[in-house]
Amino acid sequence: MAAEASVEPVRVVGRYALYDSIAAGGMATVHYGRLRGPVGFARTVAIKRLHPELARDPEFVSMFLDEARLAARIRHPNVVQTLDVVAEDGELFVVMEYVQGESLARLLRDLSGHSERIPHRIVASILSGALMGLHAAHEAKDEQGARLGLVHRDVSPHNILVGADGLSRVLDFGVAKAAGRVHTTREGKVKGKLAYMAPEQIQSGQVTREADIYSAAVVLWEALTGRRLFHADNQTTVLARILAGNVAPPSGTVPGIPKGYDAVVAKGLARVAGERFQDAREMAMALEAVDGVESAAQVSAWLESMAGKVLEERAERIACIERGSDVSNVSELQAALAATEGASASRSGVITMKPPPAGTKNRKPLVAVAGLLGALLLVGVAVLVIRNLRQPDVSVESIPGGDHAAASMPAAQPPESPTPVTEPVASAALPATPEAASAAPAPPRKPVSAWRPPKPTTSTKSSKSGQKKGSPFDGLGGRL
């Protein structure tokens, strides 16, 4: 439970929270980190923090930025991915993917203390993956498709990570050199670990991909034998041994190692760069052809047997960080994230959706339903208005036996008259009384409308009034 109590971040940088350190080197310290993004997104990362005293040196700052810029162009499963770069308060941070695993240097050191060695097929698997990662770095291109000419220049067991997933990865391109890089190494200044440098790198500073192949061959010899190849009490002796090039074959140093590895090591350690493998992939293929390689599952099981306790402690530490890195529990992280998200939204024009305050209901569905009902109501009213404005056309029919027209208006019927109005066909007079009307035979009658339009006089007058005979507007009278 002590880990739970110390879950607070040591610092918040932009969207990232830094926790305790994983490892430290000459240039930087690597920390556990946690990315807190919008809508609850979170991710555990590794954050490399340049030492404060080095951050004041323009040369180191430039080199540090170059590492991130160049490493971001390498996309391969055998290379630790660079995710982001943050500059804040005069310090620099490189955000990388977190890989659960152990460095090859620590594994070799632990084994040497127990006089044990790594099985040669597992060595072949680890070095083959690292070589493929180097090949991807050597072939990396810029945005225009031009090859960067990237060289790691510091291939060593410290920069090869054996993952819990069984894959090996190359990391730390902090001293890499590529065409067009911002940083230029000072003349005569050697960078990297001397015991793993190629002869041409020491003598003339000429660094090509063949120098990385030489360094990988040194790592292969040490991983197979469990010993240091160029080791002495002082750097002068180390330098002399490298330039002399007298290397005993692995099978002659440790019995039981297949002799096929001798040829691979010898070609990789050739003093003349042109006599080495053409590229790192060719060396990886030659290494795999000696005695095959173990699968990723076998490498993962071996790593667990070697460093299971350390990996378990790290996994528990990460679990504590993830459980305790809730924004509501880390006030400093909450404020930093709010400021960062607000700035990002203002720059990009993206609005970050936030949940409603506690205790309030989400009224968005109700507003949407109300809006829909209102739209339907407006449509219904519009239809009714249109129907009232567009009355059906008045049909004009000729009455048989007569010389006038009767207008039929289905929308409005005239009120019934107590006495029906009839019109005789002839000029006979109507009966004076109801009795007389019932006694006399009724002449043929024709019902007419109670209201009759005035008879049109002549067609000439209709023309003058602007209406034609039989116009749909005849008979509308006072309705218009």
Residues with catalytic function: 154
3-state secondary structure of 83: strand
3-state secondary structure of 17: strand
- Count CA atoms within 13 Å of residue 415 on its CB side: 2
Structure tokens given for 83 = 């995710």
Q: What are phi and psi of 48, to 5 degrees?
A: -90, 120
> Shortest CA distance to 117 belongs to which of 22, 251, 235?
251
| Contact status, residue 83 vs residue 71, Cβ threshold 8 Å | no
Residue 129 and residue 287: Cα distance in Å, rounded?
A: 11
Structure tokens given for 57 = 């040196």
Look-up of token digits 């990723």: 296
Residue 106: how many other CB atoms lie within 10 Å:
16
Sign of dihedral through CA atoms 213, 161, 25, 17? positive
Structure tokens given for 90 = 């005069």
Residue 391: how many other CB atoms lie within 10 Å:
14
Residue 264 and residue 277: Cα distance in Å, rounded?
A: 9
- Count CA atoms within 13 Å of residue 35 on its CB side: 19
> Shortest CA distance to 84 belongs to which of 100, 70, 73, 68?
68
Residue 155 and residue 137: Cα distance in Å, rounded?
A: 12
Using CA atoms, how far residue 399 sits from 217, 396, 410, in Å, is 117, 9, 17
Angle at 125 between CA 26 and CA 291, to 5 degrees: 140
Q: What are phi and psi of 17, to 5 degrees?
A: -110, 125
Residue 237 and residue 259: Cα distance in Å, rounded?
A: 28
Residue 333 and residue 17: Cα distance in Å, rounded?
A: 7
3-state secondary structure of 127: helix
Strands 91-97 and 160-163: unpaired
3-state secondary structure of 131: helix
